[in-house]
Amino acid sequence: MITALIESPTTALTGFDRLVRLVRARLVGMFEIYCDESGGADHGFIAVCGWLASVERWRRFETEWKVMLAAYDVPYLHMKEFAQFKGPFDKFQQVNRSPRIDFVKDATRIIREAVEFGFVCVVNYEDFRKVNSRFQLKESVRSPYALAGRFCIARSNVWVKQNGYSLRDVAYVFEDGGPDMGGLVEVTKQAGLHIPTFSPSRDTENQLGIVQLQAADFLAYEMRKAVVDHRDPFTKPEFFRKSFQEFFSCDVEQGNYREEQLVDLCETAKIPIREI
């Protein structure tokens, strides 16, 4: 189902519900959202995907994730390298498939047990170009990447508010190096949404990597793979790989911006038509 970009009203909560969730929020602390992108202009689409969880759950995730990486003697998970047996993952090519399969299963399980909400958003470049020729789309949402990232932030905000929490206690972290980070910052500012920060998922010379972003990398890679292999996998989720289907038990929101949905967005948001 295509979800509107605009945030919807919060669900009404009873006084008892609010009290329970307030106590839980005080105990658990703030929420963190981690996002990564896949695809790009050379693929014809961009996918931005991510996960939301409380700080407490992310801490448990970090501990379990690092233990898992150590057990398989790899320093991080980067799905592109993993899929192509590059870097520290070349050893998986020299043994039977069992360790590789077990690694994916363990990674999937740890992510699935940690996260509370997920989101995937795909924007088609050619459809974006077509609609931009009719409407001032680029002036409003900057780029396919910025639109997809804004979708993820907006839908996270909806989940947080519907579950009785304050947006003041949410942090958004995107993988550093996205194709239009400045555009994403600009559209979030204009929409009054939380402004994200950008960090690497793996250690660099200047920064420590954030392992939670590796969970987002996993989801983004699987989304890219599904779109490349099946063109429109949203209509037939059974086409997803088994490693992706494991996430179906999670609460995941989907956005798929093809031409029709982009036109609907322009009309709903009253984006001006270009003068001929």
Per-residue pLDDT tens for 32-88? 999 999 999 999 999 999 999 999 999 999 999 999 999 999 999 999 999 999 999
- Do 61 and 215 touch, CB atoms closer than 8 A? yes
Report if residue 184 sits inside a domain. Answer: yes
CA dihedral in degrees (154, 77, 63, 240; nearest 10)?
60
CATH value at residue 40 = 3.30.420
CB atoms within 10 A of CB 4: 16
Main-chain phi, psi angles of 166, to 5 degrees: -95, 140
Domain contains 59: yes
In a domain, 112, yes or no: yes
In a domain, 21, yes or no: no
Residue 4 lies in a domain: no
Determine the 3-state secondary structure of 24 from DSSP: helix
CB 167 within 8 A of CB 27: no
pLDDT value at 24 more than 70: no
Question: Tell me, what's the pLDDT at 11?
Answer: 41
Query: Comparing 5-19, 55-69, 215-229, 262-276, which segment has the lowest mean pLDDT?
Result: 5-19
Q: Give the lowest-confidence range in 11-15, 26-30, 126-130, 177-181.
A: 11-15
- Judge whether 7 lies within some domain: no
DSSP, collapsed to helix, strand or coil, labels residue 246 as helix
pLDDT value for 202: 93
Give the number of domains in the chain. Answer: 1
Residue ranges making up the domain that contains 234: 30-268
Rounded to two decimals, the pTM is 0.85
